[in-house]
Amino acid sequence: MTRPLISISGLYKHYLVNVPVLKDINFSIASGEFVAIMGHSGSGKSTLMNILGCLDTASAGHYYLEDRDTAALSSDELALLRNNLIGFVFQGFNLLSRSTLLDNIALPLLYAGKTQAERHAKALNMLARVGLAELGERLPNQLSGGQQQRVAIARALVNDPKLILADEPTGNLDTKTSDDIMKIFIDMNTEQKITIVLVTHEPDIAAHAKRLILVKDGQIESDTRT
């Protein structure tokens, strides 16, 4: 039996004492799934994504990632797990404004200790995959929002993650650009079997996923496969 990639049980999160933002969350996600998470603003989606990405820790409960109890790992071990396993695409892109697109994309490879030659080759390849092959030496502010988002996706994918965590990756983008970006996610999921967890406010975007988790007031309201 293959164990789920993600397994969460009895998970709580509170920032302020006695004000839980996440309450008794239980679910698992198998390798290769494509999951959309929806819910009202403030319901706890980004908080959950930060915990899934090992950027934040739960206040109570368990989170097993690839069978590892994340609560038992040191911050160095969590960083290693994050760098080797997870690609992040968060809203706002978080691109480094003074670095070229190629350097932005290559950043996870730098953390992973890859050589300059390997970083350059892989970053160039990813830039081409998101349709921006000619623009490698530009700076992020010389791109449109949709192009910047594609660069963020290229950066998320460059180190061959098993898991992509995307928090509103198509927020503020027009329909055509959103469709282009969703196509990249769908291809990653179907061709490379990369597990995708994607937060969105848009039903059209969520419809691309094979499973929908609805979050309401810090709890899972429903969890359905489509």
Q: Write out the residues near ligand ATP by the rule CB under 6 A.
A: 15, 21, 39, 41-47
**Is the CB of 45 or the CB of 122 nearer to ligand ATP?**
45
C-alpha to C-alpha distance for 177 and 94, rounded to whole angstroms: 19
Q: How far is the CB of 49 from ligand ATP (least distance, A)?
A: 8
Q: How far is the CB of 23 from ligand ATP (least distance, A)?
A: 11
Q: How far is the CB of 47 from Mg ion (least distance, A)?
A: 8
Is residue 35 within 8 A of residue 209, CB to CB? The reply is yes
The option from ligand ATP, Mg ion, none interacting with 13 (CB < 5 to 8 A, set by class) reads none
Q: Name residue 123's amino acid.
A: A
Report the residue from 7, 43, 46, 104 that binds Mg ion according to the rule CB under 5 A.
46
Contact between 200 and Mg ion per CB under 5 A: no
Q: For the residues of 66-106, what is the DSSP string, one character each?
A: TTEEGGGS-HHHHHHHHHHHEEEEETT----TTS-HHHHHH
**Is the CB of 41 or the CB of 141 nearer to ligand ATP?**
41
Is residue 98 within 8 A of residue 140, CB to CB? The reply is no
In the bound state, the residue with its beta carbon closest to Mg ion is 46
The option from ligand ATP, Mg ion, none interacting with 141 (CB < 5 to 8 A, set by class) reads none
Q: How far is the CB of 91 from Mg ion (least distance, A)?
A: 8
For the chain, give the number of residues.
226
Q: How far is the CB of 46 from Mg ion (least distance, A)?
A: 3
Residue 33 carries which DSSP code? -
**Is the CB of 42 or the CB of 131 nearer to ligand ATP?**
42
The option from ligand ATP, Mg ion, none interacting with 131 (CB < 5 to 8 A, set by class) reads none
Residues with Cβ within 8 Å of 48's Cβ and at least 6 positions away in sequence, in order, are 13, 22, 25, 37, 215
Is residue 166 within 8 A of residue 89, CB to CB? The reply is yes
**Is the CB of 156 or the CB of 215 nearer to ligand ATP?**
215
Q: How many CB atoms lie within 10 A of CB 219?
A: 16
Footprint of Mg ion (CB under 5 A): 46
